[in-house]
Amino acid sequence: MRRHSRIVRIGKVKIGGDNPVLVQSMTKTDTRDISSTVKQILSLEDVGCEIIRVAVPDKEAANAISEIKKQIHIPLIADIHFDPRLAELSILNGADKIRLNPSNIEDKEWIVKIAKIAKERGVPIRVGANLGSFKVRPTNVVKALIDSVANEIKILNDVDFDDIVVSIKSSDVITTLQANMKIAKMFDYPLHLGITEAGPLFESLVKSSAGIGYLLINGIGDTIRYSISDEPTVEVEAGFSLLKALHLRERGLTIISCPTCGRCEIDLFPMVKRVKSEFGNISVPLKVAIMGCVVNGPGEARDADIGLAGGKHSGVIFKHGKIVKTVPEKDLYNEFKKELIKLIKERSSS
């Protein structure tokens, strides 16, 4: 059962409550380079990114938010560290949400001031903590992370500000799990999930899926971000893949494909890559199966909307587990593609 958090509006979207878990990412460009930053955000929008965060290291970056906002279509979060004046400037330039790291802004009066400005403008504040929040590594990391967030929430609550999103992250999966499961019981604010600095693609996919997935299965989490040392579009694709796997979001293409074995008599892997490349960005929910043989063909993938399975120099095309066509191997992908396009058109018009 999903944890019922309070609802927070970020620009045009809502998180928490019964709203869907949203996928977000962070730009890897210099925010001061408006053209490059907008280009990257638009590419993220193309793969479904629903909230974007940008680094704000100085006044030029904060001022760039105004022009960036004019050219994008999703809510923008300003990521602030150390200099609280940048939070104020980001809000004035149209940021839809502010991310503050509690322990690296020493002047608490400034946090109070930011809260008042944010409340006037209807801008939520994400209270975030990770090991970067501490000058000295604490003995009990989980407790320190929770205490850091709880203290920051108290400062905001004391000035009647409760438009808050909470995020506790670590590069360690178990630390992240323990901290989030405890904080979820302490407050009803929406939680943003992620494993921070999770590493290159393969390592991050494993660590992030284990950590974020476990929390989501236990009903915890309202937005997610995969942290990957790779192109940011990969982060968004990974996020949606996880949500689809957990039946939390039905969006776009889901590929069911076998790893192949000695029974496979067709060249399967190129077909899988072609389907992903040519149809990976469709918006309608669709399950497509690419199977190596009839053993794991229509039967194993009967839940698929459409699929193909290889045979000896030939293959079958099936829909919902029932064979509709048998074709030579050389024609298999093209015939399958025709049927797939037809099905997409039907789904899109219904």
pLDDT, tens digit (0-9, with 9 covering 90-100), for 156-203: 999 999 999 999 999 999 999 999 999 999 999 999 999 999 899 999
84 and 65 belong to one structural domain: yes
40 and 173 belong to one structural domain: yes
Domain containing residue 311: CATH number: 3.30.413.10
- DSSP character for 167? E
Q: What is the mean pLDDT of the chain?
A: 91
350: pLDDT strictly greater than 80: no
Residue 89 covered by a domain: yes
pTM for this entry = 0.90
Cα–Cα distance measured from residue 216 to residue 79, given in angstroms and rounded to the nearest whole number = 24
Which of 245, 277, 311 lies at the terminal end of a domain, its last residue? 245
Q: Under a CB-based contact definition with an 8 Å cutoff, are residues 131 and 155 in contact?
A: no
Which of 191, 220, 245 lies at the terminal end of a domain, its last residue? 245
For residue 126, the cross-strand partners are 99, 165
108 pLDDT tier (thresholds 50, 70, 90): confident
102: pLDDT strictly greater than 60: no
327 and 298 belong to one structural domain: yes
Residue 100 covered by a domain: yes
Please report the pLDDT score of residue 282 as a whole number. Answer: 86
Please report the pLDDT score of residue 103 as a whole number. Answer: 63
262 pLDDT tier (thresholds 50, 70, 90): confident
Which of 192, 215, 245 lies at the terminal end of a domain, its last residue? 245
Cα–Cα distance measured from residue 190 to residue 164, given in angstroms and rounded to the nearest whole number = 7
53 and 192 belong to one structural domain: yes
Taken in order 253, 259, 261, 265, the sign of the CA dihedral is: positive
Q: Which domain range does residue 284 map to?
A: 253-349
122 and 230 belong to one structural domain: yes
3-state secondary structure of 85: helix
Please report the pLDDT score of residue 129 as a whole number. Answer: 85
Going from the C-alpha of 153 to that of each of 126, 187, 257, 302, the distances in angstroms are: 10, 10, 46, 49
Residue 285 covered by a domain: yes
Please report the pLDDT score of residue 218 as a whole number. Answer: 97
221 and 291 belong to one structural domain: no
3-state secondary structure of 256: strand
- Residue 167's nearest CA partner among 69, 12, 51 is 51
Averaged over 134-151, what is the pLDDT? 87
138 and 283 belong to one structural domain: no
Domain count, the chain: 2
